[in-house]
């Protein structure tokens, strides 16, 4: 058994696609039109193009419990998911220069360094570097 797809709820798939590709550096893998103007829209990491896909899921627009959960996480400042990086400080500097807003600047916490940013689509995302 292995992970092949991870879903992240987004309020606007086109806005999310732009943010995740242009700012974070992911690559679009699948873009299949679905009913109601939605898409099966997946991305992959440049470093692992055959690895797990990230599905930009429009669930909050169509399923109220998803929207409530997403809002509750944002209100509490809890990240929806995390992405591992080689160097949190370098990613923080790069993303800050691209206009990404961080709620937590690079911070050491035991054996990791973290930072948390807003993906502009309803989620806090945590970056993690193992020390």
| pTM: predicted TM-score of the whole model, two decimal places | 0.95
Domains by residue range for the chain, with CATH: 5-130 (3.10.180.10)
Residues with Cβ within 8 Å of residue 79, at least 6 apart in sequence: 73, 116, 123, 124, 125, 126
Predicted confidence (pLDDT) per residue in 55-109, tens digit: 999 998 989 999 999 999 999 999 999 999 999 999 999 999 999 999 999 999 9
Task: State the pLDDT at residue 88.
Answer: 98
Calpha distance 94→121 (Å, rounded): 20
């Amino acid at each position: 058994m292995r992970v092949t797809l991870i879903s992240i709820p987004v309020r606007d798939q086109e806005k999310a696609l732009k943010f995740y590709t242009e700012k974070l550096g992911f690559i679009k893998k699948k873009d299949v039109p679905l009913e109601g103007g939605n898409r099966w829209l997946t991305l992959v990491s440049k470093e692992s193009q055959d690895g797990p896909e990230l599905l930009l899921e429009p669930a909050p627009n169509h399923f109220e419990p998803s929207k409530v959960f997403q809002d509750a996480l944002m209100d509490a400042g809890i990240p929806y998911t995390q992405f591992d990086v080689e160097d949190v400080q370098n990613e923080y500097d790069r993303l800050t220069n691209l206009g990404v807003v961080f709620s937590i600047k690079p911070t050491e916490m035991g054996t990791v360094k973290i930072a948390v940013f807003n993906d502009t689509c309803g989620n806090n995302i945590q970056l993690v570097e193992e020390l």
